[in-house]
């Protein structure tokens, strides 16, 4: 996630909420300028590949993301593509719905403002956004601009890092996987699902990194970060279709799992399985394998796990 200081976030967040519309869309501009619930009728743009792995090419999810070409830029200079694939792709306000609203609700919860993750921006979500804005020195208007979303990511990341640092490595007497020749060896006491996730990870451990790889189909010549994690989870029967890193921010359950923990933000995702890190970023320094025993900073990432594991 961008390295944005609290000072910058608060300063920009306190700036006047000014929107400019680059294409003619006066009705849309009026609803946004007024910051009314009518903003729910957001005209959105045709999106490119989401960060952290391309969108699900050729799927209904990808085609559903095609929108009219209306572009919005706010007073901070941030450009909004208008999609709902990632929190921050569009300005959120009461009455709207989508994947980005689910991520917003999850981040509010992680930042200390418990919010039902329902995917619809209702009164409770608005009240909690206002509470967060007040606590963070932002304009308390209940509208989630890109700057507000980044402040929320920072707050949620800090909360996650703090809680994770104090948390035990696992919540049960689980075994630890080992590595041999770049492949993971599952511990004998691992559940069958976990062993299947490890086996799937081994099948693509040395596959090259290809941006967007593994999204159009689970069977690919290479995989990006989210394509890799999606493939391994699918191998264990824990995911039915590929997800990009932003979608994995709201995957499964919040917090650390007993056997599997996924760390995701809008730009990258990796996971730990039975104590081993499965991460495309490990390939350059690990003989080309995605498996590694080395740790990495989790600052700014959302911690998720599959239910029961």
pLDDT digits (tens, 9 = 90+) for 149-173: 989 888 876 654 444 433 333 344 4
For residue 45, pLDDT beyond 80: no
Question: What pLDDT score does 78 carry?
Answer: 82
Q: What is the mean pLDDT of residues 79-95?
A: 83
For residue 72, pLDDT beyond 60: yes
Helix (H) or strand (E) holding 292: strand 291-292
Q: Report which of residues 41 and 251 the model is more confident about.
A: 251
What is the token pair recorded at 258?
Answer: 């007993």
Residue pLDDT, tens place only, 132-146: 999 999 999 999 998
Q: Which of 30-39, 171-180, 244-253, 285-294 has the lowest mean pLDDT?
A: 30-39
Question: What pLDDT score does 64 carry?
Answer: 37
Question: What pLDDT score does 289 carry?
Answer: 97
For residue 33, pLDDT beyond 50: no
Give percent above pLDDT 70 in the chain: 71
Question: What is the secondary structure of 169-208 as a DSSP string?
Answer: S-SS-----EEETTEEE--TTS-HHHHHHHHHHHHTTTSP
Rounded Cα gap, residues 249 and 267, in angstroms? 10
For residue 307, pLDDT beyond 80: yes
Question: What pLDDT score does 41 carry?
Answer: 30
Rounded Cα gap, residues 307 and 258, in angstroms? 10
Band (9; pLDDT cuts 50, 70, 90) = very low
Of the options 3.90.230.10, 3.40.50.10680, 3.90.1720.10, 3.30.2350.10, the CATH number for the domain spanning 178-305: 3.90.1720.10
Helix axes 99-110, 123-135, angle to 10 degrees: 50
Rounded Cα gap, residues 115 and 265, in angstroms? 19
Rounded Cα gap, residues 127 and 109, in angstroms? 13
Residue 108 near residue 52 (C-beta atoms within 8 A): no
Residue 169 near residue 275 (C-beta atoms within 8 A): yes
Helix axes 192-203, 225-235, angle to 10 degrees: 140
Give percent above pLDDT 90 in the chain: 46
Phi-psi category of residue 269: left, alpha or beta, with phi > 0 → left and psi -120 to 50 → alpha: beta
Q: Which of 8-22, 34-48, 250-264 has the lowest mean pLDDT?
A: 34-48
Residue 275 near residue 168 (C-beta atoms within 8 A): no
Maximum C-alpha span of the chain: 63
Residue 38 near residue 26 (C-beta atoms within 8 A): no
Q: Report which of residues 175 and 220 the model is more confident about.
A: 220
User: Which is the CATH superfamily of the domain at 6-166?
Assistant: PGBD-like superfamily/PGBD (1.10.101.10)
Question: What pLDDT score does 71 carry?
Answer: 54
Where are the domains positioned within the chain? 6-166, 178-305
């Amino acid at each position: 996630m961008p390295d944005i200081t609290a000072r910058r976030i608060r300063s920009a967040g306190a700036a006047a909420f000014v929107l400019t519309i680059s294409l003619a869309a006066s009705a849309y501009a009026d609803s946004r300028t007024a910051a009314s619930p009518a903003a729910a009728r957001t005209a959105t743009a045709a999106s490119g590949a989401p960060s952290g792995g391309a969108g699900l090419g050729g799927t209904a999810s990808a085609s559903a993301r095609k929108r009219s070409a209306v572009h919005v830029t706010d007073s901070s200079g941030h450009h909004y593509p208008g999609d709902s694939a990632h929190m921050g792709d569009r300005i959120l306000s009461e009455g709207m719905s989508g994947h980005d609203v689910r991520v917003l609700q999850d981040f509010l919860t992680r930042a200390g403002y418990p919010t039902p993750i329902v995917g619809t921006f209702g009164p409770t979500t608005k009240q909690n956004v206002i509470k967060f804005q007040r606590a963070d020195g932002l304009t308390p208007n209940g509208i989630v601009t890109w700057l507000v979303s980044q402040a929320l990511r920072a707050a949620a990341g800090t909360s996650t890092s703090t809680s994770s640092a104090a948390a035990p490595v696992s919540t049960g007497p689980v075994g630890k996987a080992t590595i041999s020749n770049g492949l993971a060896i599952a511990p004998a006491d691992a559940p069958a699902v976990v062993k299947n996730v490890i086996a799937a990870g081994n099948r693509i451990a040395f596959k090259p990194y290809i941006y967007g790889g593994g999204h159009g189909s689970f069977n690919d010549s290479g995989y990006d970060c989210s394509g890799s994690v999606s493939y391994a989870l699918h191998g264990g029967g824990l995911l039915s279709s590929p997800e990009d890193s932003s979608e994995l921010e709201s995957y499964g359950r919040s917090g650390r799992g007993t056997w599997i923990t996924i760390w995701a933000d809008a730009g990258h995702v990796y996971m730990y399985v039975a104590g081993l890190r499965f991460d495309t970023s490990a390939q350059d320094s690990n003989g080309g394998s995605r498996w590694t025993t080395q740790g990495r900073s989790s600052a700014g990432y959302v911690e998720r796990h599959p239910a029961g594991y």
